[in-house]
Copies of this chain bind each other. A is one copy, B any other.
């Protein structure tokens, strides 16, 4: 139950790469059988990757991606690169499966280079060690491992998917890589000291799910607890009273974007104030770039093309943010005739160059790497990019207060 409720964007993405005959599928099955329980299997078309949401204990929910597209060709040609680009862009950990019986690894070398250029951690798996024949099978395995290490620059995990040998070690390595990756990014924990108090302003309106908290609110509370601080949760109407009841000023106030103005009015000027959206813009992407992007709004001219991009298609309510609210805010803020286009789904449209600005959703269905990949794509095309959270803080006039505690974002705001 809990497991299924973790959105894919919040699960580390583990992609399994390898040639068709390397034993990719048997490794996925071995992982599933021994240490991971397959929850569901979302089948795509033949060229699409298959996503297996799984529980990798004790690391937690992950998604294992079977990269159906990377098969027995020796090179990553242009077409193949495009096809697998969306997987590579969202991979938090790559498992590269190498056949112990094989003797050359050009394909793997090329892939290895692509991944390491992106800074993606890779675990190389030397599969089918049980098939090495003869009395010197053990020696052959050692030799094959040494060959792989030399060619791919990293010692492989020897394993036999068919008899399960090495799967335990693989699992350990996966957990170790994921834990070290995860410690690099915090939602809010790096802004607080042990013993600190953060006040969270959470409005209860009809958009709020009944009887629950939305995931970003849960994640923020959890992260506050993890840094030995405490979280005070209040509605916007009670914020002033809640602050009065605290024995000392809080160290931080985090508000839902829709209560920004009320929170700003009620939070003493010397208490840092930001929003869940700004925190998640920072957590998911690159806050200075997005802050740089928001400044473009003031420079938009009649006829400029603006792309509003969402990572998934969702049910649109009557006051949908992407199709209704943001276009209205842009009109009000700029007074210009803008040509607004919309895109939804896994990929950006081609020809990003034509746009004066890209406005991206909060990316709850994308992982950090995928969101950062999109920011990089926009930058490569020379197009400023901002996301919903940063844009909302801006149109509500709480800039720059909402980003004051982030020095690099403030620099981006104050520059040019």
- Residue of B7, B237, B245 near A197 (CB, 8 A) is B245
- Residue of B2, B4, B224 near A4 (CB, 8 A) is B4
Chain B, residue nearest A37 (CB): B315
Chain B, residue nearest A224 (CB): B233
Q: Among A5, A60, A194, A214, which residue has the most Cβ atoms of chain B within 10 A?
A: A5
Q: Is the CB of A61 within 8 A of B210?
A: yes
Given known A-B contacts A4-B4, A233-B231, A248-B245, A218 and B213 have beta carbons under 8 A apart:
yes
- Among the 9-residue stretches A109-117, A201-209, A349-357, A373-381, the one with 4 or more Cβ atoms under 8 Å from chain B is A201-209
Interface residues of A in 235-287 (CB under 8 A from B): 235, 237-238, 241-242, 244-248
Chain B, residue nearest A222 (CB): B211
Q: Is the CB of A212 within 8 A of B222?
A: yes
Q: Is the CB of B222 within 8 A of A2?
A: no
C-beta contact mask, A1-26 vs B, less than 8 Å → 1, else 0?
Answer: 11011110010000000000000000
Q: Is the CB of B202 within 8 A of A238?
A: no
Q: Is the CB of B235 within 8 A of A232?
A: no
C-beta contact mask, A186-224 vs B, less than 8 Å → 1, else 0?
Answer: 000000001101000010101001111111001101111
Query: Could you tell me the distance in whole angstroms from the C-beta of A310 to the nearest C-beta in chain B?
Result: 14
C-beta contact mask, A311-338 vs B, less than 8 Å → 1, else 0?
Answer: 0000100000000000000000000000
Residues of chain B within 8 A (CB-CB) of A1 are 5, 7
Q: Is the CB of A6 within 8 A of B212?
A: yes
Identical copies in the complex:
2
Q: Is the CB of B228 within 8 A of A237?
A: yes
- Residue of B209, B225, B238 near A234 (CB, 8 A) is B225
Q: Is the CB of A235 within 8 A of B231?
A: no
Residues of chain B within 8 A (CB-CB) of A210 are 59-61
Query: Could you tell me the distance in whole angstroms from the C-beta of A174 to the nearest C-beta in chain B?
Result: 15
Chain B, residue nearest A244 (CB): B247
In the bound assembly, the distance between CA atoms of A246 and B232 in angstroms comes to: 10
Contacts A212-B215, A213-B221, A229-B238 known; 17 new A-B pairs at CB < 8 A: A60-B209, A197-B242, A197-B245, A204-B225, A211-B222, A212-B222, A213-B213, A213-B222, A218-B218, A221-B221, A228-B237, A228-B238, A230-B232, A230-B234, A230-B235, A230-B245, A231-B232
Q: Which residues of A does B touch, CB under 8 Å?
A: 1-2, 4-7, 10, 37, 58-61, 194-195, 197, 202, 204, 206, 209-215, 218-219, 221-226, 228-235, 237-238, 241-242, 244-248, 315
Task: Provide a sorted-by-A list of 6 A–B residue pairs whose CB atoms are within 8 angstroms.
Answer: A213-B221, A218-B218, A228-B235, A232-B232, A233-B233, A246-B246
